C-alpha cells in the first residue's frame, strides 16, 4: 500500500535503523535512510528496499546539527513528500565509570542520543501538525530506567529520551500525532559489541534479540492500529527488566 508522505529513519545504515527502514518500506512508506558516515551501508539498505518494490533514498546528515536536520527534511519533502513518520534511532555509546568519563564523552553521547532527537522531532512536528497526523518513535533502551554500571552518559541520554517522548506525546495528542518509544535490551548490533559478556544468561529468553524484532515493534507503533497508543514505552528485552 502506498502512503501519503514519507518516513525518515535516523542512523539507518545498519542494525535496528536498517531493519526499521525496511519494515516501514514494506508497509508502504517511502523511506529516507539517514546516515552520518556509513554511506555504503545506507545505499545497501536503499537497494534492498527498492529490490522489494519500495521507494527509498539515502541522505547524509549529522542530526546533532540543526542546520543539517533542516536540510535533511527539505530533501525528504522535495523528493519523497511531507514527513509523516520519524524514527529517532541514531545513537552511540562511550562507556566508562563515572570518574573516568570526560566532558567530551558525556557531551557527545547526550548530543547524539538525546539532543538530535529533539532537533528532528521539533522539525517533524511542523508538517504533522498541519496534517493532523504523525507517528514519532524514539529508540530508547532498558538502560534508561535501569542501572548499568559504566554507562552513566548513555543511561542519562536514554532516560531523557523517554521523558521527552512522554512530554511531547501529551502536547500533540489532540492533533492526531502519536509519540512513543521502544526500549530494547540486548540486541545483536554493532553498538552492543562487547556489552554482552554473559548478559544473555540473565535474560529469561536466554538469547539476544534481533534488529528485526525491534523493527516489528516500531512498525506497530507507526501503524493505523496504534492510533490510540501514545506516550508509551514498549520494552523489547526478552524479559530482562520484568
| Phi, psi angle pair for 183, to nearest 5° | -125, 90
- Nearest-10 crossing angle of helices 211-221, 15-26: 50
Query: Is 154 assigned a catalytic role?
Result: yes
List helix spans (H) across the chain: 15-26, 39-51, 66-79, 103-110, 116-131, 152-172, 211-221
CA-to-CA distance for 3 and 26, rounded, in angstroms? 11
CA-to-CA distance for 205 and 144, rounded, in angstroms? 21
Query: Which one of the listed residues 83, 154, 172, 237 is annotated catalytic?
Result: 154
Q: Return the number of other C-beta atoms located less than 10 Å from residue 64's C-beta.
A: 20
CA-to-CA distance for 80 and 59, rounded, in angstroms? 12
Contact 154, 93 (CB under 8 A): yes
CA-to-CA distance for 40 and 96, rounded, in angstroms? 30
Burial, 85: exposed, middle or buried (Cβ in 10 Å; 0-12, 13-18, 19+)? buried
CA-to-CA distance for 106 and 93, rounded, in angstroms? 9
Catalytic residues, which ones?
154
Amino acid at each position: 500500500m502506498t502512503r501519503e508522505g514519507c518516513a525518515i529513519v535516523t542512523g539507518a545504515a545498519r542494525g535496528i535503523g536498517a531493519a526499521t527502514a525496511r519494515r516501514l518500506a514494506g508497509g508502504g512508506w517511502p523511506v529516507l535512510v539517514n546516515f552520518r558516515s556509513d554511506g555504503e551501508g545506507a545505499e545497501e539498505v536503499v537497494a534492498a528496499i527498492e529490490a522489494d518494490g519500495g521507494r527509498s533514498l539515502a541522505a547524509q546528515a549529522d542530526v546533532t546539527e540543526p542546520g543539517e536536520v533542516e536540510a535533511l527534511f527539505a530533501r525528504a519533502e522535495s523528493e519523497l513528500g511531507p514527513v509523516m513518520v520519524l524514527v529517532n534511532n541514531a545513537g552511540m555509546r562511550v562507556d566508562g565509570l563515572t570518574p573516568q568519563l570526560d566532558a567530551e564523552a558525556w557531551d557527545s553521547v547526550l548530543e547524539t542520543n538525546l539532543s538530535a532527537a529533539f532537533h528532528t522531532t521539533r522539525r517533524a512536528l511542523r508538517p504533522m501538525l498541519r496534517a493532523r497526523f504523525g507517528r514519532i518513535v524514539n529508540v530508547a533502551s532498558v538502560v534508561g530506567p535501569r542501572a548499568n554500571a559504566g554507562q552513566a552518559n548513555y543511561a542519562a541520554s536514554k532516560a531523557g529520551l523517554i521523558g521527552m517522548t512522554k512530554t511531547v506525546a501529551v502536547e500533540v495528542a489532540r492533533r492526531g500525532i502519536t509519540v512513543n518509544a521502544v526500549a530494547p535490551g540486548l540486541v545483536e548490533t554493532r553498538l552492543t559489541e562487547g556489552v554482552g559478556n554473559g548478559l544473555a544468561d540473565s535474560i529469561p529468553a536466554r538469547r539476544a534479540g534481533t534488529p528485526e524484532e525491534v523493527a516489528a515493534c516500531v512498525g506497530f507503533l507507526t501503524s493505523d492500529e496504534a492510533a490510540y497508543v501514545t506516550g508509551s514505552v514498549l520494552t523489547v528485552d526478552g524479559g530482562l527488566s520484568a
